[in-house]
Chain A
Amino acid sequence: MSAQPGRAAGAQLNEQPGLPPSPAIPASVTGILAVLALVGGAAFVATAYSGSPRAWQAFLVNLLFWLGIAQGGVVISSAYYLTQGRWAGTMAFRMAEAFSLFIPVGLVLFFILYFGRTAVFPWVSHPVPDKAQWLNTPFLFARDGIALLWMTALSMIFVNVSRGEKARAWTQHSSNIHMPPKAIKRLAVVLAISYAFVYSLIAFDLVMSLSPQWHSTLFGWFFFAGAFWSAVVMISLVTVLLGRRFGPQSAFSRPGLLHDLGKFTFAFSVFWVYLLFSQYIVIWYGDIPVETFFVVLRVNTWPWWPLSWLVLVLVWLLPFTVLMGVKPKKTPAILGTIAALGLAGMWLERYVLVVPSLSPRELPLGLAELLITLGFLGVFGLCSLPGIKYAIAAAASAGPKEAR
């Protein structure tokens, strides 16, 4: 197609009958997101100023959650290139990359975490002698900063190349057997492997180190598999919402696309629970106190065990049982609901991983956490709007016969 997706989405959509009027995304959405961001920021500053550690705990939980979604999305796109998944249609790539602009923001937010390090990392005020060479402030921020900087640069370049002429042309014509263009192919490989390394490192440093005595070898994979899945369900939710906005004839409502997203959601929720159980069974069987305390606190102790079981239900049980059949996957209302619940579940998962280490007996879950989370939602939404608009423009210019 010769139409450039970069042009105003509204003009193209207006030309097609039966579609809602432009702009593709109303200004009220931008306004609401901006308000949420400001309110959240104010709540964060107020809570942090009051000296409560809850501000930085909520900050860390949200940073891990939202950055995971943004980064996971780009990795999903690289997974499509690596498996030559053109059958999924151009929209699969565009939607996966829609959230990528939050990645640099996440990088900045990570460095801001430095100012809350005493509230978040117990080993700052109480260094652990055996682990002090690894768990000390300069080394941690240096290595994680460099790692996240690498991922940010890589992701931005990847999305840029993926939206370039060659890669876009490759995704749109699925009737040949060409490999993806060299540039994107190589970037996809480097991105995927880097993701595994960097996000394992992030998991170890930003989550596991909060209980410095505990370790689990599979934890890095468990963490980034959860981030990957949270990106899948975010893509599913946004696709369903855009399908509602643009009607059943749009590329967002294509049953094949929803079926693919449903399968993705189903499969990777099983992968997540598999990694969860792999860690659990080993720790359960060994029954070694230095390993079990982390799990017992979250699974057997009040006030955490209801949240942990809720996470299991929202992230695995519901998607697994509801999305097993073909029809539920293709029904936007069902897929969208499961996706929304899954996102809530993944946020809770990050919460249950991080907060019990820092506040074992109390449950810091209240207005501050809600407002800070909404603030992050606002920032994430604002960062995702350009990508979503790009996807809408791509949907409008996608021809009927080509891979949509």
Chain B
Amino acid sequence: MESRSPWYLAYRRLRRNRVALSFGALFVAIALFALAAPLWASDVAHTTPNATHTTETVEVGGEQREVVDREGGPIGPLWLGAGGRFFLGADGHLGRDEMVRLMYGGRTSLFVGVTAALITVLLATLLGLLSGYYRGWVDGLIARVLDVVWAFPVTLLGAALGLALALGGLRIGPIVISGDSVWVPILIIGFVYAPYVTRPVRGEVLALREQEFVEAAVSQGAGPLRIMFGELLPNVLSTLIVFFAISVANSMLLESMLSFLGVGVQPPNTSWGTMIAEGFELITSSPLLTVLPGAMLLLTVLAVNVFADGLRDALDPRAKRRLEVHAGQTEPEGTAA
């Protein structure tokens, strides 16, 4: 009988999950769309995301049209009518190219989502390992600190921190982050979501540290660091991968909420959240300005969540089974053939 690694088995299970793979492909397509922003901006739209075209005109079918009319109304989508310029129209009173901003906004949103999720998972891993391995007062201390963070609703805590840090910036020892840096929302989001991942990681570590392979490592004289990072971490990796994917989606959503409230990504940087906020002012006259970044955000979050779901099923098929049993969809474990 040929032996297969758990990773290979997970890969095979994932490959069979067509829905998850389709949404994974959608996410890759969105990421490529965002990554292509500089190419589109320079070679097609001939502008930059922040360049204003307030008083300019654009030729459409031999006719000169104002990018922004005298009452501040932006031009609508021109598709390829002006050679790709203002493909999705202008973004508002400033007459910036909506398509270019949508692509650059996607880069920021994805960057914030992925980086904040990385910070969340790294923090959660460290705290979960320490807490689950040492137990006792270390566990108690970490748990109480996390309880404090947990006591605040995520959006409220994020908005409060965002407001405070957007004004004064952040200084951690020699590292100084200015208030308008994109790292401010990244660090905030990474921090506020950490407790939500730390708890399950800690639970898993608590269970794992009683396993025989840990006892074997102890009997071989392995120290705490080696046990935590050499024995326990590889065994919680599949959980962390799933949480990372879910955190990307959650982080992007929180970023857009904070940016909508004006305490997330700061101008001149643009993200889908800031675009929704800017477009909201013209929601009745130019609804596309809100709908487009909103739809991109929705698709990305959906793609990441469905893919993360598939990833979880692939990495931990028992989890799916447990969920199904919990939902009453199949018979309890052990009764099936």
Query: Do A and B interact with each other, yes or no?
Result: no
